[in-house]
């Protein structure tokens, strides 16, 4: 817990610090830094809460099989800043890509693979990932 508190304190003072800088300053692991960034982002940008009835095509998250009542709350994902298909697992895809310093092609490979099971058309996303990976392989041979 002490490590988490030191990561939080460091990130509050240095919000744009690179993950490695936070790790060096606090002795925390990369996963601890990613988790704390995610928690702090959630705290800073609370989800929009809507009440029943829902607008058409609203996606219900975390409702399970419970019946809908006038007290049921529905959480809308933030499709611009933190899309649900990029935040699955607690680490945003962009944070991973930047931490690994991946180039454009490899970043897109990671992007399409991580969203394949969460966005809609799995095969299409995997084909796009393959396309970018083949481009990267070709550019490495030139």
Q: 37 near 31, Cβ under 8 Å?
A: no
pLDDT tens-place string over residues 81-120: 666 666 667 778 888 899 999 999 999 999 999 888 877 7
pTM tops 0.85:
no
CA distances from 9 to 2, 4, 31, 104 (A): 11, 9, 16, 32
The pLDDT confidence band at residue 46, using thresholds 50, 70 and 90, is: low
Of 17, 84, 13, 10, nearest to 47 by C-alpha is 84
């Amino acid at each position: 817990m002490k490590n988490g508190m030191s990561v939080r304190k460091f990130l509050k003072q240095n919000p744009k610090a690179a993950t490695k800088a936070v790790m060096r300053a606090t002795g925390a692991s990369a996963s601890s830094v990613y988790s704390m960034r995610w928690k702090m982002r959630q705290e800073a940008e609370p989800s929009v809460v809507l009440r029943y009835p829902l607008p058409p095509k609203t996606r219900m998250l975390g409702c399970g099989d419970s019946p809908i009542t006038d007290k049921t709350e529905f959480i809308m994902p933030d499709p611009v800043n933190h899309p649900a298909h990029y935040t699955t697992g607690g680490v945003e895809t962009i944070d991973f890509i930047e931490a690994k310093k991946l180039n454009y092609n490899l970043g897109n490979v990671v992007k399409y693979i991580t969203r394949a099971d969460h966005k809609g058309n799995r095969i299409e996303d995997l084909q796009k990932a393959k396309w970018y990976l083949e481009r990267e392989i070709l550019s490495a041979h030139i």
